[in-house]
Structure 1
Amino acid sequence: MFASIVAKGLLRSTRVKHTDIPKLYYSIREVSQLFDEEQHILRHWEREIPVLHPNKNRAGNRVYTERDLRVLRVLKVLLREQRKTIAEVRTLLADGIPDELEHIANDTSIEQRYAEKRRAAELRAKLVSQNDTVTLTRQEAETILSTLRRLEELLGDLHA
């Protein structure tokens, strides 16, 4: 009966888009990209700041949860934007995220800002690379033009 219902098109697809499902766990690579930090920096913060302690899966890989992302948002702002030292941050977060920093922990636009910065840096690098290529091409064209002019002079001298 189920097959006949599907065949008649009476049952609509209940597929859920992958993007509709919230992600529960993130790898260190994904977190590194989200926060525009090298993986070794994330591991260093984990060693130095006890409030950041992602679990590890059976394979021993770090698995970051939303709780860890909240902590990382605060760390990123305190360490990178406010220029606090590791010791200052360790003291400040000794008992968890204080109430006055909750707004940072919940601000998911932080990842978006860093993604935009990363994209801008990539575009700048691409532009510089293309500019270098154009410069090289211009130099090559000038060299060829100079060579052609010299050849014209030599040919003119031969015909004279």
Structure 2
Amino acid sequence: MHINLPEKRYYKIGEVAKAFNVNTSHIRFWEKEFDILKPKKNKKGNRLFTQVDVKNLQIIYHLVKEKGFTLEGAKAKMKEKPKAIKDNFEIIDRLENIKSELIKIKNNLA
């Protein structure tokens, strides 16, 4: 899944939820369930997600929403082979970006 977020140091939970097309409560729930998510909190307690957090959310989203893993299954998969999952996800992400660029080129030629 390709998300469309501008390059920033921190993202608010609303921005992240909108990028993933889920509710903010969904993001908070995943934060409680997956210890890999550790957003910073400001003085008001608002969550601020880094780009690393967003990448981790992409992996969780991919496993749970796209691959159909249960939460427990996704947790086990991430603990089992965390480096392999991240590498595979990055490869899939790059291939999706290449595919979208090729589609743009095809549409411009037509």
TM-score (norm 2): 0.70
Give, as a single letter, the amino acid of the residue that structure 2 aligns with 1:71.
Answer: N
Structure 2 Cα separation of the partners of residues 71 and 105 of structure 1: 11
Name which of 9, 12, 16 aligns with 1:31: 16
Alignment gaps of 5+ in structure 1: 1-20, 114-160
**Which consecutive unaligned segments of at least 5 residues does structure 2 have?**
1-5, 101-110
Identity rate of aligned residues, in percent?
Answer: 27
Alignment correspondent of 2:65: 80
What letter is aligned with 1:56? K
How far is the alpha carbon of 1:93 from its aligned partner? 1.9
Structure whose alpha-carbon radius of gyration is higher: 1
Corresponding residue pairs, total: 91
Retained in 1: the 8 A contact 2:11–2:48? yes
Q: The residue matched to 2:11 in structure 1 has which SS?
A: coil
Q: 1:105 to 1:51 in 2, by over 3 A?
A: farther
Q: Please report the RMSD computed on the Cα atoms of aligned residues, expressed in angstroms.
A: 2.6
Q: RCO higher in 1 or 2 (8 Å CA, sep ≥ 6)?
A: 2
The TM-score with structure 1 as length reference comes to 0.50
Q: Provide the rounded CA distance (Å) in 1 between the counterparts of 2:35 and 2:81.
A: 9
